[in-house]
């Protein structure tokens, strides 16, 4: 099971293990938490009171500190299988493709129409 770690501002940082999440709780680095309680960790007993330490981990935690990931550096992956299947796994820029003769024909006919109407 994984826990979603967010910065204090709500930017996704990473998926972390339950053990890593407990370390954030124990170091008092969790600023806020959202979602369901996914695990409860029980520790030792206090010598003075006899009370057992308990850490309840939520599914999403917002941590203190500076974000480790700059959102402006992120680039989305191209993983749309339906799109690539539709395009026969060819990635071409429209208008400059030399592999698709129909795109050249439509571009040249468009330029002839523009030349006729402007001239």
Per-residue pLDDT tens digits of the chain, which is 119 residues long:
899 999 988 888 899 999 999 999 999 999 999 999 999 999 999 999 999 999 999 999 999 987 777 767 777 666 666 666 666 666 655 555 455 555 444 444 444 444 444 44
The predicted structure's pLDDT at residue 11: 86
Of residues 98, 99, 94, 93, the one with CA closest to residue 110: 94
The predicted structure's pLDDT at residue 24: 95
Instruction: Name the maximum alpha-carbon separation found in the chain.
Output: 95
Residue 97 and residue 40: Cα distance in Å, rounded? 57
Taking residue 41's Cβ as centre, other Cβ atoms within 10 Å add up to: 15
pTM beyond cutoff 0.75: no
Residue 33 and residue 24: Cα distance in Å, rounded? 12
């Amino acid at each position: 099971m994984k826990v979603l770690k967010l910065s204090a501002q709500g930017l996704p940082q990473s998926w972390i293990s339950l053990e890593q999440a407990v370390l954030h709780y124990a170091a008092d680095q969790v600023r806020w938490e959202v979602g369901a309680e996914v695990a409860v960790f029980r520790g030792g007993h206090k010598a003075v009171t006899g009370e057992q330490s308990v850490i309840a981990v939520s599914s999403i935690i917002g941590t203190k500190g500076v974000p480790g990931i700059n959102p402006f550096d992120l680039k989305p992956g191209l993983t749309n299988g339906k799109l690539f299947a539709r395009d026969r796994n060819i990635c071409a820029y429209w208008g400059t493709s030399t592999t698709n003769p129909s795109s050249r024909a439509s571009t040249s006919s468009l330029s002839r129409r523009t030349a006729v109407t402007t001239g």
